[in-house]
Amino acid sequence: MIKEALNVLNEYYGYKDFRKSQKSVIDSILCKKDTLAVMPTGGGKSICYQIPALLFDGITIVISPLISLMKDQVDNIKDLGISAEYINSSLSSNKIQEITEKLNEDKIKLLYLAPERLEASEFCEFMKKLNISQIAVDEAHCVSQWGHDFRTSYRYIGSFIGSLPKRPVVSAFTATATEEVRKDIVKLIELNEPEVFISGFDRENLKINVLKIPNRLKYVLNYISENKDQSGIIYVSTRKEADHIYENLIENNISAARYHAGLPDAERKQNQEDFVYDRINVMVATNAFGMGIDKSNVRFVIHYNMPKNIEGYYQEIGRAGRDGEKSECILLFSAQDIITQKYLIEVGTQNPERRINDYKKLQTMIDFVHHNGCLRKYILNYFGEETEYEDCENCSNCLSEGEPVDRTVEAQKVLSCIYRMKRDFGVNTIVDVLRGSAQKKILQYRFNELSTYGIMKNYSKKDLAEFINTLISHDFISLKEGEYPTVVFSEKSMDILKGEERVIFKESVKVQKITEDNELFGVLKALRKDIASNEGVPPYFIFPDNTLKEMSVRFPSNKEQIFDISGVGQVKYEKYGETFLEIINDYVTKNNIEVKWTDKSEVSLQEKATNNLRSSKVKTQDVTVNMIKEGKSIIEVAKEREITVSTVLGHIEKYINDENSEKVEFNLEGIFTEKEEKEIMEATAELGVDRLAPIKAKVSQKITYDAIRAVILKNYVLRDKL
Ligand code: ADP
């Protein structure tokens, strides 16, 4: 069976092979077993139900929540030569009539439906007469109210399937499902002893960055101007913020549009289309935007604000790099985001259970932005996936980019001012005192008599407020919520004041190009845009970026060779193959390029060789341990490598766990005091060492996670292993 599936993949889609996760899902559906597939966004879910649809007799019904995008989805597969239609409220009754006739004649392979259709009994009666071979439920998490996009009408799917005279095989797909949601899907869609496949959630081509930097807007403007020709999305948490950033982009001549619930429908639709059709590069949007956007060449997703949960965040960043090309995800965190999200939860739901759930999810998001270890690992673990690595080498924590700048002295000035002000005030009042403002309120409280009054005059109001906010986002001080949020000391504040902890920011995070594109790629992109606008379709419908990229480095010169390029199928070749070949051949001749055609198999051999090379490169933990062998303390290594103490400790653990490691003396000096060690050991005797959080809760507040980790390393791991 899978061989026939492979032929269909080749012929229609032009792809040479299934992705690992697709194979087992398709196989299960082809064996007529109900199937639940959890795959990351961009993982290639659609093919998993489309290929069985093509191989089965009869019709596959696809239930999809995205009315506005159904047309695009269906046009896209029609473009591959597959007979598909959709029915939703946007169609005229004549058109619906036309489709029902085609359905009666068994001329349609895939029918896309909005779930609301299943609430209409007349329509369901009609459906019962059809030869339905498969029901595919897309975005299946919408059935669960624990998911983040609950849709009431998804609850009708189960009973609809039950009412059919002959039960078809049912497949359900989602990108984000925690165990709770997964159980709900199985129960509420009434899957029959389903095969459940949870594929690796890792999207290796996405670089994940969390940045806590002052002046986010300036960063965004720099970033976009460095990556002018690339397509990207900027997510914000409120409409107001979307308008604000959009206006700034326009003022800076950046090709941008916006999308949020406050805009008229027509404008939203137009903006979305402009983005999908590559008429504009950047979309500034609230989370109302993006579900089901299949645009495959989104090169960056910036979160200007922290989103409300990991599920939403991972789904949103998943919209980058669907074509598998290198792409970037950047979360710009500011402590104010927490307050905004809490406010949105408060006004967002009356249901107390949901509210508690929302707060729980928000907390995991906050923990994520403060996480010191590998960010990718954090997300994957959240979704229940174990990772083999400690460091992914493709997130901002693992790569540890940016220039570290020591801001301890400035931080001490701020802290001692807060300390002296005695009562809790907001950021603006603290700024006023530090800048020596003569405002009534300041004088009333006699803040002008404090020794810290006016000691940061040289800062502008805005810069100083941003500096304080950056201190908050690193948890060097905290924000206490209330009607007016106030600044209070955190666990770290006293240590900084006493000079026991340093404040080091990665300030000038260098903005870099995401990818270097070659000239022919640009030429092919322009050709694609011309064809797309003639045909009135989005450019990625013609060929995705990775197909053009492959053409631009392999220079296919005839039919046989262009078929070897991933993404060139039968219909696509007939429509565009010759045009692209002509342009490529032209380019090759004009530039005197000597082409030596290499077969796909040879290319993958080369890739393998490069991968081997890559994996034989020096392991990061070895670099750390080598420095320790030179006699450096852990704190020194952390400083020199510009990584956190926690990461160094992680490297050491990994090194020790490697069977071949030799004995090394680790100098844990300075991470904990003798007294702290005693206290931590007492706690571990009672609580064990598997989980750090309960230990942290038990010991004095002042004891850091680093200290706990180091004590465990010394007394348990090192003693046991070496
Ligand atoms: P999802 O619905 O899981 O987010 P899609 O089905 O839209 O993902 O697929 C994402 C991208 O990957 C699309 O551009 C699709 O054409 C491409 N793709 C899917 N399967 C394969 C494959 N086997 N080989 C190459 N590209 C694939």
Q: From atom 16 of ligand 1, which residue's Cα is the shortest distance away? A: 44
Report phi then psi at 442, rounded to 5. Answer: -65, -45
Ligand 1 center from residue 319 Cα (angstroms): 12
Q: Burial level of 23, CB count in 10 A (0-12/13-18/19+)? A: middle
Task: Return the ∠ at Cα 572 (arms to 582 and 24), rounded to 5°.
Answer: 135
Q: From atom 20 of ligand 1, which residue's Cα is the shortest distance away? A: 44
Ligand 1 center from residue 41 Cα (angstroms): 9
> Which residue of 13, 110, 327, 566 sits with most ligand 1 atoms within 8 Å of its CB, as the best mutation to test the pocket?
13
Please name the CATH architecture into which domain 404-507 falls: Orthogonal Bundle (1.10)
Which tokens in the block code for residue 73?
A: 């989805």
Query: What are the sequence ranges of the domains in the chain?
Result: 1-198, 206-399, 404-507, 519-612, 644-717
**650 in contact with ligand 1, CB cutoff 6 A:** no
CB of 380 closer than 8 Å to CB of 387: yes
Ligand 1 atom closest to 296 (CA): 14
CB of 319 closer than 8 Å to CB of 533: no
Ligand 1 atom closest to 318 (CA): 4
Backbone conformation region of residue 670, classed left if phi is above 0, alpha if psi is from -120 to 50, else beta: left
Ligand 1 atom closest to 48 (CA): 6
In this prediction, residue 624 has a pLDDT band, given cuts at 50, 70 and 90, of confident
284: number of Cβ within 10 Å: 30
Ligand 1 atom closest to 566 (CA): 25
Ligand 1 atom closest to 17 (CA): 23
Domain 1-198 listed as CATH 3.40.605.10: no
CB of 171 closer than 8 Å to CB of 206: no
pLDDT at residue 628 greater than cutoff 90 = no
Pairing of strands 404-406, 504-506: antiparallel
With CA atoms as reference, report the closest residue to 318 among 462, 186, 176, 516. Answer: 176
CATH superfamily of 519-612: HRDC domain (1.10.150.80)
**Type of residue at 383:** F
**566 in contact with ligand 1, CB cutoff 6 A:** yes
Mean pLDDT value across the chain: 88
Q: Tell me: the pLDDT tens digits for 209-227?
A: 999 888 899 999 999 999 9
Q: What is the DSSP string of 319-360?
A: TS-TTS--EEEEEE--THHHHHHHHHHHHH---HHHHHHHHH
**42 in contact with ligand 1, CB cutoff 6 A:** yes
**45 in contact with ligand 1, CB cutoff 6 A:** yes
Residue 532 has what DSSP assignment? H
Residues 312, 289: Cα–Cα separation, whole Å = 12
Residues 692, 684: Cα–Cα separation, whole Å = 9
In this prediction, residue 612 has a pLDDT band, given cuts at 50, 70 and 90, of very low
Q: Tell me: the pLDDT tens digits for 457-491?
A: 999 898 898 889 888 878 899 888 777 789 999 98
In this prediction, residue 610 has a pLDDT band, given cuts at 50, 70 and 90, of very low
**293 in contact with ligand 1, CB cutoff 6 A:** no
Q: Long-range contact list for 388-395, CB < 8 A, 24+ apart? A: 390/621, 390/650, 390/651, 390/653, 390/654, 391/620, 391/647, 391/650, 391/651, 393/620, 394/204, 394/206, 394/207, 394/208, 395/207, 395/208, 395/209, 395/210
CB of 34 closer than 8 Å to CB of 194: yes
458: number of Cβ within 10 Å: 8
C-alpha 467: how far from chain center: 27
In this prediction, residue 720 has a pLDDT band, given cuts at 50, 70 and 90, of low
> Which residue of 7, 11, 36, 46 sits with most ligand 1 atoms within 8 Å of its CB, as the best mutation to test the pocket?
46
**Which pLDDT belongs to residue 619?**
65
Which tokens in the block code for residue 553?
A: 């480095």
Q: Tell me: the pLDDT tens digits for 311-351?
A: 889 989 999 998 888 999 999 998 888 888 988 898 887 88
Residues 28, 688: Cα–Cα separation, whole Å = 43
Ligand 1 center from residue 134 Cα (angstroms): 20
Is there a shared CATH topology between the 1-198 domain and the 206-399 domain? yes
pLDDT at residue 305 greater than cutoff 90 = yes
- What is the CATH topology of the domain spanning 206-399? Rossmann fold (3.40.50)
With CA atoms as reference, report the closest residue to 147 among 317, 326, 291. Answer: 291
Pairing of strands 195-198, 206-211: unpaired
In this prediction, residue 147 has a pLDDT band, given cuts at 50, 70 and 90, of low
